[in-house]
Chain A
Amino acid sequence: MRISSTWSQQLGVNSLIDQQAKMNHTQIQLSTGKRIIEPSDDPAAAVQVVDLNQTIKQTEQYNSNIKTARQRIELEEVVLRSSVEVMHRLRDLGLQGLNATNSLGERKAVAQEMELLNGQLVGLANTKNSNGEFIFSGFKSDQTPFVETGVPGSGTYVYGGDGNFRQIQISTTRQIADGDPGDTVFGIPANAVPIPGLATNVFEAVAKFAADMKAGTPNVNSLTDLANSLDKMLTTQSSVGARLNALDTQEGVNNDYVMSMNSTLSSVEDLDYASAISKFNLQQTTLQGAQQAFSKVQHLSLFNYL
C-alpha cells in the first residue's frame, strides 16, 4: 500500500497532539486534585457535586443559626439563674420578716431590701440582647416588657410584650424557640395591687409583700406567691436547658452530616492520585515514544541517497 508523505507526517503530528492533550488533562487533574475538570467529563457526577456542595453549605448555615440561637438562649439562662437566686434571697428575707419577734424597724429594713431586690428582678426581666432587643417581650422586642404604672413605688405593672416567641431554623425540619415571652416567665401583671396568695405576677407579689412588711403586717400567703413565681421560672429554666441540649445534639448531627457529605463529595470529585500519577507516567512514556518515532521516520527518505 502506498502512503502519502504529507499524510504520514500529519498522522505523526496528530498522535503527538493527541498525547499532549491527554497529558495536559492529567496534569490539570494532578494540579487541582479534582477528577472532573469540565462537567461534561462526567455529567452525573458534576450534578452530584453541585447538589452536595449546596447541601453542605445549607447545613453549615443551620449550624450558624444554631450559634445565634445558643447565644440568645444562654443569655436567657444567665438571666433566669440570677432571677432564681434573687427569688431565693426574697424567700429568705420574707421568712425572716414574718418572724413575729421582729420589730417594726427591723421589718422596714427587710422591706427595703425586698424592694431593692424587686427592682433588680424587674431589671433582669427587662434585659436586652446584643441587638438591643428586649429578650422577654416576644415579637414586640422593641417594647419594654415590664413597666411600673402610676407613681414610682405603686407596685403595679403592665406587660408591654406579646405571647409569641421567635423560631430559629436549625435543620431542614426542625425549628427551636430562641426565647420565652415574659408573661410566661414572670407572670401576667394585673396592673393592680394583688391579694396575697392570689398574685399573678412576681413583681406585684413582691411589691405587695414588701409594702405589707413595711406596714408591719406581712402576709404569710405572700410566701405562696413567691413559691408560685419561682415555679414558673424553674419550669422555663428547665425548658431552656433542654433547648440548649437540643442545640448541642442538632449541631452534632449537622456536623456528622457535613462530614459524611464531604467524604461523599471527595469520593465523587477528588482524584485518585496513585492511579493518576501512574497514568501520567505512562502518557509521558507514550509521548516520548511518539516523538522519537516521528523524528526517526521523518528522516527516512530516498532523496538522502540521490
Chain B
Amino acid sequence: MGFLTTSLTGLMAAQRALETASHNVANVNTEGYSRQRAEQSARRPELTGNGYVGQGVNVNTVTRSYDQFVTNQLNSSTSLLSEAESYTIKASQVDNIVSNTVTGLPPALKAFFNAVNEVANNPTAVSVRQVMISEADGLAKQFNLMTDQLNVFRTQNNGQMGAMVTDINAYAQSIADINVKIVTDASRGNGGQPPNDLLDQRDLLLAQISEKVNTASVIMADGSMSVFIGDGQSLVLGTQTAKLSLLDSTTDSSHKLVAINGQDITSSITGGALRGAIRFRDEVLDPAQNQLGLVAAGFAVEFNKLHKTGFDLNGVAGIDMFKFAGSSTAVPVVPFPGGTGTITAAYDPAATGNLQPSDYRLDFNAGIYSLTRLSDNTAIPIGGVLPASVEGMTITQTALPLGVSSFLIRPTYRAGQDIQSVITDPRKIAAAGTGGVPPIPGDNAVALQLAGLEKKNVLFGAKSTLNDAYSQLISKVATLTHSAKVGRDAQQVLFNQAKQTRENMAGVNLDEEAANLIKFQNAYQASAQAISAAKSMFDVLISAVR
C-alpha cells in the first residue's frame, strides 16, 4: 500500500509550493526580493518484480531567481545614475545662483558703474558721490553674498558626503553581520540549502552601497561576500569591515578628503552619489568660486589702480576704494604642514590681465622654487627663484625655507569673500585728474576713466571685460549643468534597462503567482483525493475480513 505514502509526498510538495507562492505574493513589494520556487523531483523508485514503481515526489530545495551578472550590471548602473543625479541636482543650484537676474552679479555691477557715470556727470555733487559709495558697498556685498552662497553649497556638500560615508559604513557593517549568519548557517550543515532571503538582504545592502559609491563584490568559498571600492580597497572582507571617513585637507578644512582606514582614496572613488559630490565640488563649485573671485580681484585691483591716479574733492591723491580683508594687494598664502619659511604674494596691478581663476602650489626643494597652476596642473616657469611676477601676482620670499616646503597660493579663491569697499567719505572719491590746493571740484577726468572701466578689456590677457568674465562663469556652469542633465537622462535609460532585466527575471508577477496558486491547489486537492481513494480501499479490505 505504498501509494498512501506517495500521495502524502504529493500533498507535502503541493503544500511547500503553495507556501512558496504565498511567500512570493507577500513579498511582491519587497525591495530587492527575488521570487522563489520550490524545486521538485520524483523520489527514487522502488524496484519490484514488476519493474520500478514510483514513490512520489520530493521538494529538493527552494531556489531564488538570481543572476550574478544581471545583479552586477544593475549595481553599476545604479552607481552611475546616482552619481549623475547627485551631480546634476547640485550643479543646477549653482546654475540658478550665478544666472539669477536679481541676485546675480550683473545688476550690482551695472548699478555701481551707473553711479560712477553719474559722478562723472556731476563731480561736485556730494549726494551723487554718496550714491556711488553706497553702490560700491553694494557691489562688494554682492560678491560676498554670492561667495557665501557657494560656501553654503560647499558646507551642504560636505554634510552630504559625511552622511554618505556614515551610511556606507553602516551598510558595510550589516553585510559583515549577514556574512556571519550565512557562514554559520552553512557550517551548521543544513545540506547546502541557500538562505534565499538573507542573500536577498545582502544583495540589497550591496545595491544601497552602490548608490553611494561604485563597488565590486566577490562571493567567497564560505558563502561570505567581500566588497571592494575605489581601486580595490576592501570595504568588507568576510566578517571584517574597513572604516570609511572624511578628512580635512591639510591646507583648507572646508575641503574634505575621503579616506579608508585613514588612507586618502578621494581620487580613486568611482561612481555613486559620493563621486557625484566630489565631482561637483571639483568641476563646478571650486572653479565657479575661483572665476567669481577673479572678477572681484580683477575689478578691485584695476579700479584701485585708476582711482589712485585721481584726486578727491580736497585735492588729495586718491586712495584704495576696495580691499581684501584689510589689504588692497595681499594674496592669501597657506603653508602646507611640515614646511618652513615664509612666502608672501601680492596682486600685480600692472598685470591684471594675467590673473587666472586657479590656486597655485609653490614648492621649495634643494634651493629651487617651482610653481604649479592647480586648475590644469601646469608648471609656471619662474626660473627657480623668487621674487617672481607671474600670473598677475608677485610672489616674494620673506624667510628662506630650511628644507622641502610647499605653499598654497590662492589669488582668486577667497577674493569674492574678502572684497570690501573701504571709502565711506564721499569727498574721498578721486574724480579729478589734477590735484593740489585749492582743489578743482569740477574736474571729472578720472571719473570718466573709472566709468569706462566697465567696457575696458582688463581680464584674460586684456581680452575680456569684467562682465565677459562673469558671462564665462554663467556659460561654464550652464554648460556643465546642461551636459550633466543629458548624461543623467542617458543613465536613467540604462538604469531602467538594467532594472527591467533584473525585475523581469527576479520580480514577482502576481498573475503568475495566482496561476501557480491554482495549479498547486489543484495538485493538493488531487493528492488528497488519492489519499481518500487509499482510505476507501482500506475500508473495502477491512470490511472484507470483518
Whether A139 and B509, one on each chain, are in contact in the complex, defined by CB atoms closer than 8 angstroms, is: no
Chain A residues with CB below 8 A from B441, complex form: 133, 139-142
- Interface size, chain B (Cβ < 8 Å): 64
Chain A residues with CB below 8 A from B474, complex form: 39, 43, 46-47, 50
A37 vs chain B, min Cβ distance (A): 10
Q: Does B518 contact A (CB under 8 A)?
A: yes
Whether A169 and B504, one on each chain, are in contact in the complex, defined by CB atoms closer than 8 angstroms, is: no
Q: What string of 1s and 0s marks CB contacts (under 8 Å) between A167-192 and chain B? A: 11100100100100000000000000
Distance between Cα atoms of A57 and B500 in the complex (Å): 54
Chain B residues with CB below 8 A from A51, complex form: 467, 471
Whether B504 and A162, one on each chain, are in contact in the complex, defined by CB atoms closer than 8 angstroms, is: no
B486 vs chain A, min Cβ distance (A): 10
Chain B residues with CB below 8 A from A142, complex form: 124, 441-442
Whether B121 and A68, one on each chain, are in contact in the complex, defined by CB atoms closer than 8 angstroms, is: yes
Partner of B440, one of A41, A162, A301: A162
A155 vs chain B, min Cβ distance (A): 27
Whether B504 and A40, one on each chain, are in contact in the complex, defined by CB atoms closer than 8 angstroms, is: no
Distance between Cα atoms of A40 and B503 in the complex (Å): 34
Q: Does A302 contact B (CB under 8 A)?
A: yes
Distance between Cα atoms of A42 and B482 in the complex (Å): 8
Q: Interface range on chain A: under 10, 10 to 19, 20 to 34, or 35 or more?
A: 35 or more
Whether B510 and A50, one on each chain, are in contact in the complex, defined by CB atoms closer than 8 angstroms, is: no
Q: Quick check: which of A4-12, A230-238, A240-248 contacts chain B, the rest being far away?
A: A4-12
Whether A167 and B448, one on each chain, are in contact in the complex, defined by CB atoms closer than 8 angstroms, is: yes
A185 vs chain B, min Cβ distance (A): 16
Question: Given A4-B507, A5-B510, A51-B471, are A166 and B444 also a contact pair (CB < 8 Å)?
Answer: yes
Whether B121 and A39, one on each chain, are in contact in the complex, defined by CB atoms closer than 8 angstroms, is: no
Q: Does A137 contact B (CB under 8 A)?
A: yes
Partner of B503, one of A4, A50, A57: A4
B534 vs chain A, min Cβ distance (A): 29
Q: Does A2 contact B (CB under 8 A)?
A: yes
Q: Does B114 contact A (CB under 8 A)?
A: yes
Q: Does A164 contact B (CB under 8 A)?
A: yes
A159 vs chain B, min Cβ distance (A): 14
Partner of B106, one of A53, A137, A169: A53
Partner of A39, one of B95, B440, B445, B510: B95
Q: What string of 1s and 0s marks CB contacts (under 8 Å) between B121-145 and chain A? A: 1111100000000000000000000
Number of A-B residue pairs having CB atoms within 8 Å of each other in the complex: 164
Q: Which parts of A64-85 form the interface with B (CB within 8 Å)?
A: 64-65, 68-69
Whether B442 and A4, one on each chain, are in contact in the complex, defined by CB atoms closer than 8 angstroms, is: no
Chain A residues with CB below 8 A from B454, complex form: 58
B450 vs chain A, min Cβ distance (A): 11
Chain B residue, CB-CB nearest to A165:
B442
Q: Does B443 contact A (CB under 8 A)?
A: yes
B97 vs chain A, min Cβ distance (A): 10
Chain B residue, CB-CB nearest to A60:
B114
Chain B residues with CB below 8 A from A166, complex form: 123, 442-444
Q: Does A99 contact B (CB under 8 A)?
A: no
Q: Which parts of A129-157 form the interface with B (CB within 8 Å)?
A: 131-133, 137-143
Q: Does B425 contact A (CB under 8 A)?
A: no
Chain A residue, CB-CB nearest to B441:
A142
B502 vs chain A, min Cβ distance (A): 9
Q: Does B515 contact A (CB under 8 A)?
A: yes
Chain A residues with CB below 8 A from B99, complex form: 38-39, 46, 50
A206 vs chain B, min Cβ distance (A): 27
Q: A58-B110, A65-B120 are in contact. List 4 more A-B contacts (CB 8 A).
A: A47-B474, A51-B467, A141-B441, A306-B514
Contact sample, A vs B, 30 pairs, CB 8 Å cutoff: A3-B504, A3-B507, A4-B503, A4-B507, A4-B508, A5-B507, A5-B510, A6-B28, A6-B507, A14-B496, A38-B99, A38-B478, A39-B481, A40-B482, A46-B474, A47-B478, A50-B104, A51-B467, A53-B101, A54-B110, A58-B454, A64-B114, A139-B440, A139-B443, A140-B440, A141-B124, A142-B442, A167-B448, A169-B451, A302-B514
